[in-house]
């Protein structure tokens, strides 16, 4: 059974929206190495529509880059009620309708992790159904004051166990949790 593994950037105050606007000043080679190792542990991406559209506008344009090559080669499963299955980014497939059932079926297939980036609404749906197995929260030492927060106020009670921490010289800390 495959795991759904989350890679999520959050500010100290829990904002996860638009990390491309605030995370880059903290990026180092060590961050890239860690992120690439997580990407290698996966053989599929799971994305919401907005994250997909942001990624699809950026990643295919990058070439001669091992990280981009890996991102571009993986199957991408996009949760959307508005997109059709003729997506431009290669190897992309729309999941619509029963998202929980579709993710359960993906998890039952053989393979590596299914990597979830961004996608707050999808994240919260999956957490409420107990479908996330590995949480990697990249906490950035910045307070944004406002914006879309990772956890919704109506989430079901969930408990987690700290599995690992990784600290970078820029003050970014990756907190790895598993469901308790």
pLDDT truncated to tens, each residue of the chain (180 aa)?
899 999 999 999 999 988 989 999 999 999 999 999 999 999 999 999 999 999 999 999 998 899 999 999 999 999 998 888 778 899 999 998 899 999 999 999 999 999 999 888 999 999 989 999 999 999 999 999 999 888 877 767 678 999 999 999 999 999 999 998
Q: Across the strands, what pairs with 115?
A: 5, 45
Phi/psi zone of residue 2: left (φ > 0), alpha (ψ -120 to 50 degrees), beta?
beta
**Cα 171 from Cα 129, distance rounded (Å):** 32
Cβ–Cβ < 8 Å for 100, 131: yes
Domains of the chain: 4-173 (3.40.430.10)
Q: What is the pLDDT of residue 63?
A: 82
* Encoded tokens for 130: 């107990």
Q: 103 to each of 2, 88, 95, 99, 169, how far by Cα in Å?
A: 10, 22, 9, 6, 36
* Encoded tokens for 124: 């919260």
Cβ–Cβ < 8 Å for 143, 156: no
DSSP class of residue 44?
E
pTM of the model as a whole = 0.92
pLDDT tens-digit series, residues 89-103:
999 999 988 999 999
Q: What is the pLDDT of residue 74?
A: 97
Q: What is the pLDDT of residue 99?
A: 94
């Amino acid at each position: 059974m495959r795991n759904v593994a989350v890679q999520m950037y959050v500010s100290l105050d829990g904002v996860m929206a638009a990390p491309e606007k605030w995370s880059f000043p903290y990026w180092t080679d060590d961050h890239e190495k860690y992120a690439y190792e997580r990407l290698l542990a996966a053989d599929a991406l799971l994305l919401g529509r907005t994250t997909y559209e942001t990624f699809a506008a950026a990643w295919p344009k990058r070439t001669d880059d091992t990280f981009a090559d890996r991102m571009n080669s993986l199957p991408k499963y996009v949760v959307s009620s508005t997109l059709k299955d003729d997506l431009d980014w290669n190897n992309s497939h729309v999941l619509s309708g029963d998202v929980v059932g579709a993710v359960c079926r993906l998890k039952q297939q053989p393979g590596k992790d299914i990597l979830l980036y961004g996608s707050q609404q999808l994240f919260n749906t999956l957490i409420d159904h107990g479908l996330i197995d590995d949480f990697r929260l990249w906490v950035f030492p910045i307070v944004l004051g406002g914006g879309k927060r990772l956890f919704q106020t109506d989430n079901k009670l969930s408990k987690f166990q700290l599995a690992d921490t990784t600290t970078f010289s820029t003050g970014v800390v990756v907190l790895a949790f598993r469901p308790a």
